[in-house]
Structure 1
Amino acid sequence: MLLSVLFAAALFGFGVFGLEAQAEDATTTPETRSAAEAAGETALPSDSEAATALRAKIDERNRAIDSLEKEIASYQVEIEKVGKETQSLSSTLRSLELERKKFLAEIKVTETKIANAANELERLAGNITLAEGTMKRYSRALREGLRRLYAEESETLLEALLAHPSLGAFWDEMATLERATEFIQSGLTDVKAVKETLVNKHTAVDKKKKELEGLRRELSDRKKIVEYNQKEKNKLLATTKNKEANFKRILNEKIALREAFEQELLEFESELKLQIDASRLPKTGSGVLAWPLDAVKITQRFGTTAFAAAHRGLYGGVGHNGVDLRASVGTKVKAALGGRVVGTGDTDTVCSGASYGKWVLVEHDNGLSTLYAHLSLIRAAAGEALVTGDTVGYSGNTGYSTGPHLHFTVYATQGVKIISKRSRVCNGTYTMPIADPKAYLNPLSYL
């Protein structure tokens, strides 16, 4: 009878469903296969044995990442110990070597994360393929079931009775019809669930692709930072001729240059008469800004700090115009709030060791602007739109810096601008943000 066939079809069509239970890591698409190959992986065939092997690789790499992160942490401890020593040629060289080892370990971590992300894409592709296959089976079973159900229901009651050998057989067939209808209704619910699963899997793939893209950019950045580290070491050895006396002389010259440059800058900024409407600024204590580093340790606050008072020449006698945050070279620096990158630059190209070094200025839509200085590498570009937490660059030791850290300044946007000005101290034209003294705000009032 047709209803018996219908019931069997329903059992076959809906009983095979088991999306997550069956070969979760099935097959790869050409796109994810290329991602895996780029990370040094080979695409795996569609079977549970391959899925298990894929998971084992990911787990093994995660263990390697844990081990590398412990190694990185131990290097960081040593770097901080050296940083507390009196600045000397030998301590600076030791710090550079420890930083190099740390950078290389960070590169290994990033490479391992790239390989894992590629394999995760493989796994998700397998899930999607499985879900799509299940959807097709369900759709076929539903179409067939509905077609047969319609054929049965088109019979008249008399035709249905005459088609059965007895009244009991007729009622058995009616019961079968009821069960088949229930299976079809259940199948419709399951099809909706499969569709939802597919949407979630595709969303996960898009997220993982963005993660993979970000990791590849980070890998490129970290390799550049290793090159920066080596250049700094070579420059130090060349200028000092590996002699402590030469290092001390150069350090004193750097301090004198910084003081002269700061005085020149102060004279210029004091002449600025920019209008600042305080009512356009956020309320202090509102916490509108996020910390630009994941791990925060303030090493110098805003204003007339003990260090600024003891070294008045370094800040033109007006105090520290931002906050300094401890950050070893290569630490990721993030936007404290969404906004537009007004400009970037490097004062060392004209006046080495005298000012901000590599810097990024970001303007926000709430009346504030933020500056990130002494970077080793700039990631953001002028005109780029950022969201809170985007990478603007990596911390460093460029410009006038007694050790690796992030200098973070907050301005009233109305009172700051980027200028290119000829310096009598450095005998060149530098480009950097300058501000009316009233425009410098205490960052801690907004963090």
Structure 2
Amino acid sequence: MFNETTNIVFSNKFNYSIGIILTLVILVLPNHFIQAQSTTDLQIKIQDRASDIQALEKEIQGYQKQIETLNDQATSLASTIKSLELNEKKLAADIKLTENKISAKNIQISTLTSQILSKEDNIGSDRRIIQKSLATMEQFDDRSIIEVFLSGDSLASVSNALDNMVLIQKGLLGQIAKLRTVKADLETNKKATVIAKTELVTLKNQLNSQRKVIASTAAEKNALLKETKQSESQFQKILTEKKALQEEFEREVLDYESKLRLGVDPSLLPRSAKGVLSWPLKSLFITQYFGNTPFATANPQLYQGKGHTGIDLRASIGTPVMAALSGTIVGVGNTDLAPKCYSYGKWIMLKHNDGLSTVYGHLSLINVVVGEKVSTGAVIGYSGYSGAVSPPGPRGAHLHFGVFASQGVEIKAIASSKNCRGVIIPIADFKAYLNPMSYL
């Protein structure tokens, strides 16, 4: 016969164990409520930032429309200064937008971190409940059905004990399923945090670049006012001189390239197809195509009748310029470093692994160095109006995008150049100039 006292003790322990399990479940709930409150507060902050971002994007669009409207006016000192001022305002709004995005990204990371801590806490609580449930079940399994019946004071108490055991078993299965879900959510949150932190670094780099662009734009406005002495006639005289110098260098380049015999093997080039290259800008508006465009044929003094060597994409000052395909930076330069040299301005050349090379001209800022490897879509610079643009000055801001057969292009200086001696630019065999639209 079983000792009655022992049976009563077992029954009490069993009920006590169930009480502990229920207490553990109840204690977890307030913590979940606190975490939910914290997450709600962060969500409100995110929504506030989203509203600020939307307002700034609308403000930037307004400045962009004003800049485009101004570009239709005749070239004058007043319109050029006005364009620079509008671009400064737009760039300042761009900076505020990036700052708000950084703030929103920090809030997102805080939210994810809070959720990760909450889920880790939940996992710990779930494990304790599961361990206690298993211990109780193991204690129950060690006794026979007869012992269970003898351990109770009445049939009702025995029935309750059995019901409680079924309840524990069901709860255990539920806790295990919940634990698996929480673990999966935890991994998702951790991956999202890594992505968010990477995006945060990108935004901070963008902010740093935008501040450099706005500083250079302000400096260019001051330099223009000083150079022209705020005189319209002096401004027009400078434009005429720059155009003549540009034409002179174009003739020098044409003469040099006409003598190149680098050779281009078409079999080493990718087939013409859409999507071989990605667009270098997010917003697309082509202002001039490749080849004998109306502008090219109407201005033989600029293009020597050979046509436009790339495509021009409208881009206000400070627009991010992206790599059209992964590759290695093989050249960067700035023709403006020579006082009377007007060509690409600030430029980047990127060599790809498929036989193509791409060039990005008239930039306001270069973000890469020679030898650097970049991925498709990476921001390598920011658009501007450096070099020879039409119309001259900020109203002519755009991105010149060119595609070469890598085997037929070199980066070098034209030693015989009168005004651009020592300035390096991409120089190509005529056959190496390719139509970008064949690959975009």
Same fold flag (TM > 0.5): yes
Give the superposition deviation at 1:166: 4.8
Give the superposition deviation at 1:313: 1.8
Give the superposition deviation at 1:316: 3.0
Q: 1:364 aligns with which of 352, 356, 360?
A: 352
Give the superposition deviation at 1:385: 2.0
Instruction: State how far apart, in whole Å, the 1-side matches of 2:44 and 2:378 are.
Output: 33
Distance 1:103 1:134, change over 3 A: same
Give the superposition deviation at 1:9: 4.1
* 8 Å Cα contact 2:335-2:420 kept in structure 1: no
**1:44 corresponds to which residue?**
none
Amino acid at match of 1:347: T
**2:130 corresponds to which residue?**
142
> Which of structures 1 and 2 has the bigger CA Rg?
2
2:87 matched to 1:69? no
- Secondary structure at the aligned position of 2:33 is classed as coil
**2:316 corresponds to which residue?**
328
**1:442 corresponds to which residue?**
435
Q: 2:425 aligns with which of 429, 432, 435?
A: 432
**1:41 corresponds to which residue?**
none
Identical-residue share of aligned pairs (%):
40
Instruction: State how far apart, in whole Å, the 2-side matches of 1:193 and 1:53 are.
Output: 24
**2:101 corresponds to which residue?**
113
**1:88 corresponds to which residue?**
76
Deviations 1:26-54 (A, max 9, x none): xxxxxxxxxxxxxxxxxxxxxx2x65544
Q: How many residues align?
A: 424
Q: 1:220 aligns with which of 198, 208, 213?
A: 208
**2:373 corresponds to which residue?**
385
**1:412 corresponds to which residue?**
405
TM (norm. structure 1) is: 0.89
Report the RMSD for the aligned CA atoms in angstroms: 2.2
Amino acid at match of 2:429: D
Give the superposition deviation at 1:176: 2.3
Give the superposition deviation at 1:369: 1.2
**2:386 corresponds to which residue?**
398
Instruction: State how far apart, in whole Å, the 1-side matches of 2:363 and 2:156 are.
Output: 87
Deviations 1:346-397 (A, max 9, x none): 1111255511011111111222111111000111222222222110111100
- Secondary structure at the aligned position of 1:394 is classed as strand
Q: 1:22 aligns with which of 7, 11, 33?
A: 33
* 8 Å Cα contact 1:363-1:370 kept in structure 2: yes
Amino acid at match of 2:183: K
Which runs of 5 or more residues in structure 2 are unaligned?
A: 1-10, 391-395
- Secondary structure at the aligned position of 2:415 is classed as strand
Give the superposition deviation at 1:138: 0.7
Instruction: State how far apart, in whole Å, the 1-side matches of 2:46 and 2:418 are.
Output: 56
* 8 Å Cα contact 1:325-1:405 kept in structure 2: yes
Give the superposition deviation at 1:192: 0.9
Instruction: State how far apart, in whole Å, the 2-side matches of 1:14 and 1:380 are.
Output: 56
**Stretch deviating more after TM superposition (52-61 or 328-337):** 52-61
Give the superposition deviation at 1:20: 11
Which runs of 5 or more residues in structure 1 are unaligned?
A: 26-47
- Secondary structure at the aligned position of 1:22 is classed as helix
**1:229 corresponds to which residue?**
217
Deviations 1:154-178 (A, max 9, x none): 2244443432345564444233222
TM (norm. structure 2) is: 0.90
Amino acid at match of 1:433: P
**1:422 corresponds to which residue?**
415
